[in-house]
Amino acid sequence: MAHDPVQWVYEQKCRKAVESLRKNGFEAVYCENRQEAYDYVIRAANDANTIGFGGSATIDTLQLRPELREMDKVLLQHNAPGLSADEKLIIRRRELTCDLFLTSSNAVTVGGQLVNIDGTGNRVGAMSFGPQKVIVVAGRNKITDNIEAALQRIKEYAAPANARRLNKKTPCAVTGFCSDCDSPESICRIKVILERKPSLSDITVLIVNEDMGY
């Protein structure tokens, strides 16, 4: 139980999201901090050979790769430096059928929905169907009151920040504001809301009571 009042308020939101996610068919776990999320993912990775990364800043903050490499896991990372476009595409396809897929969600509602906007679709595709198991890690900063607020959060914060991180030639990567562009490099082409766990998927959502990613 958190003693700091702000931490406590966030804990209630996190726990409510966990409860709602469970009602919607997902496995969901409350994590007090990122170390608990790290430990959960490492335990789950024991059963996996191939591990796919969805390209998430949240997952990057966990710094899982060194331990996963020590465990002799095959890491599938389409964003690894030095890859050609063809090599990235091949890895993206392999990520769709990996043993364990690691990603975040752009937003999670207190009603237990996962809300995402994607440019290529490999991330939301793998979240919906394909990998043996999916773990979604989301910090408390991604919890919103409803789907409308989730979509607003994505356009106001997540998408411009991701466009900037990925060096996309989009207006938001320059101004920090979404201008609803039709840029060839737009990362806003696909809107996917997982309202309930997709029927043939195995998804665990870790809700962490820390700010993580964006």
Nearer CB in complex with ligand SF4: 75/181? 181
CB of residue 153 to ligand SF4, shortest distance in Å: 12
Give the contacts of 131 (CB within 8 A, at least 6 positions apart). Answer: 52, 95, 96, 97, 98, 99, 100, 101
Nearer CB in complex with ligand SF4: 65/155? 155
CB of residue 159 to ligand SF4, shortest distance in Å: 3
Nearer CB in complex with ligand SF4: 28/188? 188
Q: Can you tell me the distance from the alpha carbon of 51 to that of 45, in angstroms, rounded to the nearest whole number?
A: 8
CB of residue 20 to ligand SF4, shortest distance in Å: 27
Write phi, then psi, for 206 (nearest 5 degrees).
Answer: -100, 120
CB 123 within 8 A of CB 194: no
Q: C-alpha distances in angstroms, 9 versus 36, 106, 161, 198?
A: 19, 21, 26, 30
Q: C-alpha distances in angstroms, 135 versus 1, 38, 57, 80?
A: 25, 11, 14, 20
- Which alpha helices (H) appear in 46-158, and where do they start and end? 57-62, 65-70, 85-95, 122-128, 147-153
Nearer CB in complex with ligand SF4: 46/167? 167
Nearer CB in complex with ligand SF4: 76/178? 178
CB of residue 189 to ligand SF4, shortest distance in Å: 9
188 Cα distance to chain centroid: 15
The pairing of strands 107-109 and 143-144 is parallel
Nearer CB in complex with ligand SF4: 7/79? 79
The site map against ligand SF4 for 112-151 (x = CB under 6 A) is ----------------------------------------
CB of residue 199 to ligand SF4, shortest distance in Å: 30
Structure tokens at 208: 């962490």
CB of residue 173 to ligand SF4, shortest distance in Å: 7
Q: Can you tell me the distance from the alpha carbon of 61 to that of 139, in angstroms, rounded to the nearest whole number?
A: 11
The site map against ligand SF4 for 69-108 (x = CB under 6 A) is ----------------------------------------
Of residues 148-207, which lie at the interface with ligand SF4 (CB under 6 A)?
155, 159-160, 163, 170-172, 178-181, 183, 186-188
Binding site for ligand SF4 (CB under 6 A): 155, 159-160, 163, 170-172, 178-181, 183, 186-188
